[in-house]
Amino acid sequence: MATDALLNRRVVRVPDVIGRPLTKAKILMEDAGLPRVITLYRESYEDRDTVLEQRPARGQMVYETTEVTIWIARRGYLENLPAIYRRSDAVGRNLVRDVCFVFEHMFDSVEKNLTDGWRFYDPHVSPLDFLDWLAGWSAFTVDLDWPEAQKRALIKRAVDLYRIRGTKRGLALFLMLFTGNEPEIVENTWPFKGFRVEAEGPASASTR
């Protein structure tokens, strides 16, 4: 079984990603059939996350299970230290720089979350699996079956909905956000008891 899997591996050509941004490079590798990409940093004054080197080299034919390593440009944490720590020895080595790059590899995901952290708190761009937690901030309950667009719109206005909860205005706002239509709500109007909801459009009335 394992032998058959090895024999059936597809051979693909490695694309050229040098000089491209990291996100674009990963897309090109995945499109070529090489999803296993290892990212390493190298000190450079090129734009941040620009690919400086790749291995295997462009044009090589490799199996689709091959790991591709790419080196991207980073200034590194060393630039935040006094100049005395940036000096290299006679052969160009700098122990402090190497240690800084170790920490940058370890904590880069943390830095990215800090930089883009605001996205988690904006219902319009927050990750889908974070919406329920975000709704919980205002004790707002969302149904699992609700479409994503409606969830985001309602969470955005959750506080406003709570202020007018239980009122005709609150119900109208909820229905408008959920359906996209402006409803007309009539309360205790003969011959109906309770309220009646209508909206512009064909067959869009309900009575309770």
Are 16 and 70 part of one and the same domain? yes
pLDDT tens-digit profile of 152-206?
A: 888 888 888 878 887 778 888 888 888 877 777 777 666 666 666 665 554 444 4
Residue 3 has pLDDT above 80, yes or no: no
Residue 121 DSSP label: G
Are 146 and 96 part of one and the same domain? no
Are 20 and 109 part of one and the same domain? yes
Are 20 and 82 part of one and the same domain? yes
Are 166 and 105 part of one and the same domain? no
Residue 21 DSSP label: B
Of 120, 145, 178, the residue that ends a domain is 120
Of 120, 151, 174, the residue that ends a domain is 120
Are 73 and 170 part of one and the same domain? no
For the entire predicted model, the pTM comes to 0.50
Arithmetic mean of pLDDT, 137-142: 81
Which phi-psi region, left, alpha or beta, contains residue 49 (left: φ > 0; alpha: ψ -120 to 50)? left
Of 88, 120, 152, the residue that ends a domain is 120
Are 91 and 153 part of one and the same domain? no
Which has more pLDDT, 185 or 149?
A: 149
Residue 34 has pLDDT above 50, yes or no: yes
Residue 112 has pLDDT above 80, yes or no: no
So what's the pLDDT on residue 82?
A: 83
Are 159 and 71 part of one and the same domain? no
CATH of the domain at 67: 3.30.10.20
Total number of domains constituting the chain: 2
Are 82 and 114 part of one and the same domain? yes
Residue 147, preceding peptide bond in cis (omega within 30° of 0)? no
Domain hosting residue 35, numbered range:
2-120
Put the strands of the sheet holding 205-207 in their side by side order: 183-187, 195-199, 205-207
